[in-house]
Amino acid sequence: MIDSERHINRAMLPEPTLRRLPWYLAYLKQLDSKHEDHVSSTQIAKRLNVDASQIAKDLSFLNIKGKTRIGYEVHPLTKTLTEFLGFKHRHNAYLIGAGSLGSALMRDLGLMQFGLNIVAAFDIDPEIIGSQVGNIPIYDLAELHSRQRSSGVAIAIVAVPSESAQEVADALIASNIKAIWNFTPFRIKVPRNVVLQNTSIYSDLAMMYNNLEANVNNKNITK
Amino acid sequence: MIDSERHINRAMLPEPTLRRLPWYLAYLKQLDSKHEDHVSSTQIAKRLNVDASQIAKDLSFLNIKGKTRIGYEVHPLTKTLTEFLGFKHRHNAYLIGAGSLGSALMRDLGLMQFGLNIVAAFDIDPEIIGSQVGNIPIYDLAELHSRQRSSGVAIAIVAVPSESAQEVADALIASNIKAIWNFTPFRIKVPRNVVLQNTSIYSDLAMMYNNLEANVNNKNITK
C-alpha cells in the first residue's frame, strides 16, 4: 500500500516515533514467529519499557488502531511496519571507503535483511582497487561519477577517514547521490535536498564509557 | 588527570554535550595533524554547524576555557578530549554472538582506535566454537561465567538475534558484566547498576529511508 492511500505524511512523522517503530517491529517479529495472534499496547509497553499510550500514539501516525480488549493483530502489523519502514524494499547503495569499517559493513549480511544492498565500493587505495570483499567489487573513486550515472544508485555509505569525509560527500552530491549515511565522526554539510543520516558509534562508545565511569565514581563516593 | 582534579561530575554531564564532544575531537585531530596551533569556537562552529556559544558551553563542562581572540590550543585540547572520552584507555570487552554483525565487529580494527579491545567472543553454534575471527577466539557461551570470573572483563557487546537478546543480557548480568552495548533492535532491560548503551543502526536506516521517501514525495507534490 502506498503512503497516499494510508494518508501518511512522512515529513511530519516525529523522529522519536520513527526511531521507536523498529523496536516494536523487533518484538512483533518475535511474537509472529511464535504464531501469537494478538498483542496489546500494554503488553508491548511492559516488554519494551515504553509508555502504552505512547505506543498507541506512535502507531496512530500510521493510521493503525488496536481493538478494545483484543489489541493489535500481530501478523498484519508486522507486515505493515516492515513495509512502512522500507525494510522490505531493496535499496541499492554504494560504499565509500573499503578500510576496516567499510569491509566490515560489506561482510555484514545483516543490512540486507533491512533492505540495504551494497552493490559496489569505492576507494583510492591502488592496493585494493579491483579486488572484492564478500562478492562486492571495489572500484577507483575516480569512477564514481560515471558509474552512478549508469546505475542510478541513490544512497552512499561514507566510511572514509574523518579528514576526507566532506570532500567525499561533495563528490557524492555532485554525482547525484540523494542520501548519505555517514559513519565518520565528522559532521558533513549537505544541501537541503540531500538526506544526511549520521551513525555515531563512537559517540555511543563515549556515552557507555562515561556512564560506566560515573557508576564507578558513584560507588566510591557512597562507600 | 583524573576527574576529581578537573572537578567534573560525569553523571551531571548532559547527553547532548557528551555526544557532541567526539565531533569536536574529530575536527581537532584534523587540525592537529596539520599542526594548527589555535582554533576559535567560531571556527569550530562554522565547520561543524553547531552554535559557537554551545561549543564554549560544552567545553566549559570540562573546565576548558578558550582565550579571548586566540581561542583554544589545538594540541592540548585534542589530548584532553581523547583522555576524557576514554578513547585512550584500553577497555577490554566480550562479544556475544559471532554471526555476521558480530564477526564484522571483530574484524573492525577501527574500534581499537577508540579504546575498545574485544578479547573474546561467545556463541552457541558448535560449528564456530573453537575457531577464531581476526585472532579473537570464539568460546562456548556456557563458559561465559567462569571466563568472566578469571578475566574481570566489564563490557559486553551483544550482537545476537533479537529474540535471544534479553536472555543473553540476563546471563551477562549474572556473570558480573557492568556495561552492555546492545546492537540488536530489541530493548533490553537491565538493573540500575548496569550501563546499557543501544546502537540502533536499523533505526538510523529507517530514518534515512523515510527522509529519502519524504523528499521524493515532496518533489512530486511541488512539481
Choice among A209-223, B14-28, B50-64 with the minimum mean pLDDT: A209-223
What residues of A are in contact with residue B201 (Cβ under 8 Å)?
199
Does residue A76 carry a pLDDT above 70? yes
What residues of A are in contact with residue B27 (Cβ under 8 Å)?
162, 186-187
CB pairs under 8 A between A and B: 213
CA-based nearest residue to A133, from B113, B200, B103:
B103
Q: Indicate if the alpha-carbon torsion angle A91, A197, B105, B168 is positive or negative.
A: negative
Q: Which residue of A has its CA nearest to B89?
A: A209
Q: Measure in Å the smallest separation between the Cα of B117 and chain A Cα atoms.
A: 12
Q: pLDDT per residue over B101-148, tens digit each?
A: 888 888 876 788 899 999 999 999 999 999 999 899 999 999 999 999
Does residue B4 carry a pLDDT above 70? no
Using CB atoms, which residue from A86, A193, A205 is nearest to B206? A86
Give the pLDDT band (50/70/90) at residue A107.
Answer: confident
Neighbours of B25 (CB within 10 A): 23
Q: Measure in Å the smallest separation between the Cα of A51 and chain B Cα atoms.
A: 13
Residue A223's pLDDT is 45
CA-based nearest residue to B213, from A157, A20, A83:
A83
Residue B5 contacts A, CB cutoff 8 Å: no
Residue A111 contacts B, CB cutoff 8 Å: yes
Q: Do B197 and A217 touch (CB under 8 A)?
A: no
Q: Do A215 and B199 touch (CB under 8 A)?
A: no
φ/ψ (deg, to 5) at B156: -130, 135
Question: Is residue B183 within 8 Å of residue B159, measured between CB atoms?
Answer: yes
What residues of B are in contact with residue A209 (Cβ under 8 Å)?
85-86, 89, 91, 115
Give the pLDDT band (50/70/90) at residue B211.
Answer: very high
pTM above 0.90, yes or no: no
Using CB atoms, which residue from B48, B178, B209 is nearest to A85? B209
- Could you give the CA distance from residue A196 to residue A168 in angstroms, rounded to a whole number? 13
φ/ψ (deg, to 5) at A136: -100, 125
Q: Which of B2, B209, B216, B217 to mutate to test the interface with A (most CBs of A within 10 A)?
A: B209
Residues 6 or more apart whose Cβ sits within 8 Å of residue B15: A207
- Mean pLDDT of all residues in A143-156: 96
Using CB atoms, which residue from A30, A184, A206 is nearest to B85? A206
Residue A88 contacts B, CB cutoff 8 Å: no
- Mean pLDDT of all residues in A167-192: 94
Residues 6 or more apart whose Cβ sits within 8 Å of residue B177: B94, B148, B153, B154, B155, B156, B194
CA-based nearest residue to B121, from B103, B147, B95:
B95
Residue B223's pLDDT is 45
What residues of B are in contact with residue A101 (Cβ under 8 Å)?
108, 110
What residues of B are in contact with residue A89 (Cβ under 8 Å)?
209
Q: Measure in Å the smallest separation between the Cα of A113 and chain B Cα atoms.
A: 10
Q: Which residue of B has its CA nearest to A192?
A: B215
B 118-157 near A (Cβ less than 8 A): 154-155
What residues of B are in contact with residue A105 (Cβ under 8 Å)?
104
Q: Do B198 and A204 touch (CB under 8 A)?
A: yes
Our measurement of the distance from residue A187's CA atom to the centroid of its chain's CA atoms, rounded to an integer in Å, reads: 17
- Mean pLDDT of all residues in B65-90: 93
Residue with cell 541499492: A92
